[in-house]
Structure 1
Amino acid sequence: MPTILIKNARVLAGENRLIKQDVLIKNTYIKQVADTITVSADQVIDAENALLLPGLIDVHVHFREPGFAEKETVVSGSKAAARGGFTTVLAMPNVNPVVDNPDVLRQMLALNQRDGIVKIHQYAAISAGLDSDHVDDLDALAQAGAVAFTNDGKGVQTADTMYEAMKAAARLGKVLVAHVEDDSLIHGGVMNAGPAADALGLPGANKLSESSQLARDLVIAQATGVRYHVAHVSTAESVALIRIAKKEGVHVTAEVSPHHLLLDDGMITKDDAMMKMNPPLRSPHDRAALIAGLLDGTIDMVATDHAPHTAAEKAQGMLKAPNGVTGIETSFQLLYTHFVKSGVMSLRRLLQVMNQAPAAAFSLSDAAVKVAAGQKADLALFDIDHPHVISKDEFASKASNSPFIGWEIYGQTQATWVNGRQVYAAERSQA
């Protein structure tokens, strides 16, 4: 592999303090970090004072392949990840066929390895076909290479199924990830139940659907000792429950998506499926609780829930369009702009929730967690000095179903390296 020398980068050296450093990459690792490095290298890149961070980690992505390649593929999804500054992602199992047995899992791992340009770890399903009746052979799935287990996209409706799955995951030392949603409380809702849904005449989903199932799971998690992770937390009640559970010693971690931090149902003023996702956007009160939970550590990490769909699907309106928005190409940029640049959150905390906490919670030993000698050369370079307006025509993803098109952001990705190989370069970073 070529030796790469990155000159004039800014590296985090405190909560928000940045220092100028040179970084030498050799044989998939960071070889040296210093104020000035003068050795010869096969490639020299002038970072032009851009911010250099360890590559971001997203524990919740949908790359749609196999079965839904019109929405996204491993090729396009991993290119989108690299463009967003992500070097490691965890891919959900709700594709077709569902990743619920060792043979399908091995095929999926081979596809990820063949077509992915970032590191892709693969989830396996808790139960066959994502039903709530019977637990898969989690031992065999773990042995075949599953990073963790989840039925994402569906809540596990049967408590006994969740109990048996948690016992198995605990025995295996694997994380069990829950999409918490009690179907009996949805009533056909397509957005959060409340004044916004009433004003639009759209059916609302009771937010107790999330917190009631979460309460059940936390009790079972405490009884089993499992490492339990809550996907896409969206309500104030859920934040409160997680806070209590952590104090009680439950091994629980939680994620929140950028759209739940930046949007709420009060912003849905028309029938706009770009604002339709599951869980739905909640009230301004819920959004404030999510931000507070992220700041105080109750919520451990940010995960995008990158969920691409075709333009035709999203054009059907709130009643018929599928849930989900893309996010992996804009998440760091949006959070840097609205939280770090505005002074709400330190850059160090943003790095924790988008890199270090995911790596720790999912035991991702192959991911870099700092810019330092000896770390894997998983790196991303961001331009934090110049504004950029998000355009639907710029995405590397096959989809552009983003509610943030037209937003001005800072932090556009300039370059991304995985194991020392450059997998993305914006125009100003190309040699």
Structure 2
Amino acid sequence: MTAYLITDVSVLGGERGDLLLADGLVAAVGPQARAQAEDAETSGDLVTINASGLIALPGLVDLHTHLREPGREDAETILTGTQSAAAGGFTAVFAMANTSPVADTAGVVEQVWRLGRDAGYADVVPVGAVTVGLGGERLAELGAMAESAARVRVFSDDGKCVHDPVLMRRALEYTKAYDGVVAQHAQEPRLTEGSQMHEGVVSAQIGLAGWPAVAEEAIVARDVLLAEHVGGRLHVQHLSTAGSVEIVRWAKERGIKVTAEATPHHLLLTDELARSYDPVYKVNPPLRTAEDVAAVKAGLADGTIDIVATDHAPHARQDKDCEWSAAAFGMTGLETALSVVQHVMVDPGLLTWADVARVMSTEPARIGGLSDHGRPIEVGEPASIVLYDPAVRRTVEPAEHRSRSRNSPYTGLELPGQVRWTFLRGRATVADGELLPKGPLGAPEGPPGSAGKAPR
């Protein structure tokens, strides 16, 4: 395996120094890195990376990704989705269960897991459905999925709410046996029938059916109380309203086992964008008000919201290039997530780079039960690392993205930062900003001319 000497890099935005990655691990940190690199250099398999100006973060982990395979390969495949993930600095993604067939059996989750392993760009961790076929009527094979080769620990009907309180209670109870977590798409279905966007001033003015904040908040409130009652673990997906932030804050103060995520788009975009009637801004839950965005940002800054998760939701062109009411909900997000977080949280001083590592790597890995991701950049730890240039500014152009879909809400927006290198257990998947080609065994090939020096 190629070894990498990374020079003059800032680990988590701190002091600059050197790193040596070898045999899939962080082999040395600081002055020892160059000395130990001499052994690798004599064998001709050392790449030296000048990382001046770059920040090293643990490989990002996305707890909420839609890879669409099996069933909607016209929108995304596990290969293209994990290539998109690697380009965005992610080394592990949790694949949502709303595929066709639904990932509600051991067989389907194992298929997803194996396809991810064969792709080789990021670890794919299947999320198991809570209910059969996402139908909300009876529990899926939770135990079989947990004990399968995929080792499912996160269960979700994302895209649909587990609206039956009895089923939600049972799921919270049963997943305790596997230290699992139920990730809830908080949406009271009766309050959102026919809804198209956030219910408020904008929806009234432009004539689109409104989606009230209370539809999310009512489910969040119910579920934190159910989690307290049975002692189960609840994860609130794509939290989007000020009221939801307050409910989660109250639940944590009470000692309830609840975690929550915010998406990049709910940290930046508002319902004002719906005035364009461009379906690229149609998402579930909907874009909210500026006041909600401010509350979500504050909740992430103070730790009420635990993580950032992309809710990467690719769609084929025909599902978005149509009138608003007929368009699918969802936005892509893997390749822009880190830039958006820098833009709205780091540059204004709301989070440090160490905080970014926590909310985009360490905590998602912990919540999802991944022991070999989200690790500190220390000697002996897995070398799943991203090198990021925060000084670059780029205009978002979805045609340049690795995802099969182009439904990014950031088209034409200038955002900071660029992922320069991504390493998955010591293997480069992105080198000098370019995705590496897939090798014969599924793993990305080493950079061209890997012996010697590679420029930043």
TM-score with structure 1 setting the length = 0.96
Residues 207-236 of structure 1 show CA distances to partners (whole Å, capped at 9, x for unaligned) of: 211111111111110011111101000111
Q: CA RMSD in A?
A: 1.5
Aligned to 2:8: 8
Compute the displacement of 1:116 (Å). Answer: 4.0
Query: What SS class does the counterpart of residue 85 from structure 2 fall into?
Result: helix
Aligned to 1:221: 227
| Amino acid aligned to 1:222 | E
Aligned to 1:246: 252
Give the Cα–Cα distance (whole angstroms) in 2 for the partners of residues 101 and 208 of structure 1: 33
Compute the displacement of 1:106 (Å). Answer: 1.9
Give the Cα–Cα distance (whole angstroms) in 2 for the partners of residues 428 and 233 of structure 1: 33
Is 2:107 the counterpart of 1:111? no
Compute the displacement of 1:65 (Å). Answer: 0.5
Compute the displacement of 1:22 (Å). Answer: 1.1
| Amino acid aligned to 1:3 | A
Residues 360-419 of structure 1 show CA distances to partners (whole Å, capped at 9, x for unaligned) of: 222210114222111100011111122111112210101121111112122200010001
Give the Cα–Cα distance (whole angstroms) in 2 for the partners of residues 366 and 344 of structure 1: 28
| Amino acid aligned to 2:140 | D
Aligned to 2:139: 135
Is 2:50 the counterpart of 1:53? no
Range moving further from structure 2, 410-419 or 368-377: 368-377
Aligned to 2:213: 207
Closer, same or farther in 2 for the Cα pair 1:368/1:159, shift >3 Å? closer
Aligned to 1:33: 29
Query: What SS class does the counterpart of residue 400 from structure 1 fall into?
Result: coil
Aligned to 1:257: 263
- Contact 1:200 1:270 (C-alpha < 8 Å) held by counterparts: no
Compute the displacement of 1:309 (Å). Answer: 0.8
Give 1:136-285 correspondences, 5 Å limit.
136-144=140-148, 145-285=151-291
Paired residue for 1:293, among 292, 299, 302?
Answer: 299
- Contact 1:74 1:116 (C-alpha < 8 Å) held by counterparts: no
Give the Cα–Cα distance (whole angstroms) in 2 for the partners of residues 280 and 161 of structure 1: 26
- State the identity as a percent: 36
Give the Cα–Cα distance (whole angstroms) in 2 for the partners of residues 194 and 27 of structure 1: 55
- Contact 2:65 2:95 (C-alpha < 8 Å) held by counterparts: yes
Query: What SS class does the counterpart of residue 411 from structure 1 fall into?
Result: strand
Give the Cα–Cα distance (whole angstroms) in 1 for the partners of residues 164 and 8 of structure 2: 55
Aligned to 1:62: 66
Range moving further from structure 2, 421-430 or 142-151: 421-430
Range moving further from structure 2, 297-306 or 137-146: 137-146
Compute the displacement of 1:427 (Å). Answer: 4.9
| Amino acid aligned to 1:9 | V
TM-score with structure 2 setting the length = 0.91
Give the Cα–Cα distance (whole angstroms) in 1 for the partners of residues 349 and 255 of structure 2: 32
Residues 79-127 of structure 1 show CA distances to partners (whole Å, capped at 9, x for unaligned) of: 0000000111111111010011112222222222112411111111111
Give the Cα–Cα distance (whole angstroms) in 1 for the partners of residues 232 and 23 of structure 2: 37
Paired positions, count:
427
Residues 301-348 of structure 1 show CA distances to partners (whole Å, capped at 9, x for unaligned) of: 000000001222211132111000000100101111232123232222
Paired residue for 2:323, among 299, 317, 323?
Answer: 317
Give the Cα–Cα distance (whole angstroms) in 1 for the partners of residues 176 and 242 of structure 2: 28
- Contact 1:192 1:281 (C-alpha < 8 Å) held by counterparts: yes
- Contact 1:368 1:375 (C-alpha < 8 Å) held by counterparts: no
| Amino acid aligned to 1:189 | S
Query: What SS class does the counterpart of residue 400 from structure 2 fall into?
Result: coil
Consecutive unaligned residues in structure 1, runs of 5 or more: none
Give the Cα–Cα distance (whole angstroms) in 1 for the partners of residues 422 and 251 of structure 2: 37
Compute the displacement of 1:297 (Å). Answer: 0.7
Compute the displacement of 1:428 (Å). Answer: 8.0
Give the Cα–Cα distance (whole angstroms) in 2 for the partners of residues 256 and 374 of structure 1: 32
Give the Cα–Cα distance (whole angstroms) in 2 for the partners of residues 131 and 60 of structure 1: 20
Aligned to 2:450: none
| Amino acid aligned to 1:21 | G
Give the Cα–Cα distance (whole angstroms) in 1 for the partners of residues 207 and 432 of structure 2: 44
Aligned to 1:384: 390
- Contact 1:382 1:411 (C-alpha < 8 Å) held by counterparts: yes
Aligned to 2:48: 44
- Contact 2:297 2:345 (C-alpha < 8 Å) held by counterparts: no
| Amino acid aligned to 1:98 | V
Closer, same or farther in 2 for the Cα pair 1:219/1:338, shift >3 Å? closer
Give the Cα–Cα distance (whole angstroms) in 2 for the partners of residues 166 and 428 of structure 1: 42
Give the Cα–Cα distance (whole angstroms) in 2 for the partners of residues 147 and 174 of structure 1: 5
Aligned to 1:96: 100
Query: What SS class does the counterpart of residue 384 from structure 1 fall into?
Result: strand
Consecutive unaligned residues in structure 2, runs of 5 or more: 436-446, 448-453
Range moving further from structure 2, 82-91 or 105-114: 105-114
Give the Cα–Cα distance (whole angstroms) in 2 for the partners of residues 387 and 289 of structure 1: 27
| Amino acid aligned to 2:110 | R
Query: What SS class does the counterpart of residue 104 from structure 1 fall into?
Result: helix
